[in-house]
Amino acid sequence: MNVPLLHVIVTDDVADSPEFPANAETLLAAGGDRVALHLRLKRASGRDFHSLAVRLRRAVAGSGGWCVINGRADIALTARAEAVQLGTGSIPVAAVRVLPGRGFAIGASVHSAEEARLSVSEGADYLVAGSVFRTASHPDRDPAGVALVTSCAEAGVPVVGVGGIDAINARQVVAAGAMGIAVIRAVWQEPSPVDAALGLLDAVSAAREQEDEGAC
């Protein structure tokens, strides 16, 4: 499976911003199938979550990008999202795999090679592995480093690295075996989120091309 190179996580605060709809549409138009927007909403009601998911799915439709719903397989199903992202506390991957009418990919968030193997055995299509580097949101948590990406990639499905990744260190993550990266602050806390996202895309694309050339 090919997964987008850049996964941009949308939190409640980002989704509540009046600039979000325009930024999302511009980013999807510019990034196309290289971009996935993850809705990771913790404060929203189910109704509001679903409403935003449907609107985002419409924006995604003409771009080739992905609308990913974090933690809510029911919303991913009814909004016709491209993927659902399941954490360790979410409904099991195996249970989502057999949902009637499921047409979306299943991503699993993992923090170890063991979790990666288990998720893939249950049917995960791709993995989001982290935290790779130290993050501002969890400054007291020791990062796993790029070795986590390498060990998770051995599970046999695409891996997306997450945690403290920016345009400078993205190359290390790709070199370790990641197909792409996932970010929050590296996009949404920049003066121009769209420009920041496109810069990250350029960095990951260049790193992927270098890895592909080295494999030839």
pTM of the model: 0.96
Count Cα neighbours of 213 within 13 Å in the Cβ-side half-sphere.
6
Residue 1 has pLDDT above 90, yes or no: no
Tell me how many degrees the CA angle 119-44-3 measures, rounded to the nearest 5.
Answer: 35
Residue 162 has pLDDT above 80, yes or no: yes
pLDDT tier at 19, thresholds 50, 70, 90: very high
Which two three-digit tokens encode residue 98? Answer: 């057999």
- In this structure, CATH architecture of domain 6-215: Alpha-Beta Barrel (3.20)
**Could you give the CA distance from residue 214 to residue 120 in angstroms, rounded to a whole number?**
27
Which residues touch 180 (CB under 8 Å, ≥6 apart)? 3, 4, 5, 6, 7, 158, 160, 161, 174, 204
The average pLDDT across 116-123 equals 98
The average pLDDT across 122-144 equals 91
**Could you give the CA distance from residue 53 to residue 85 in angstroms, rounded to a whole number?**
13
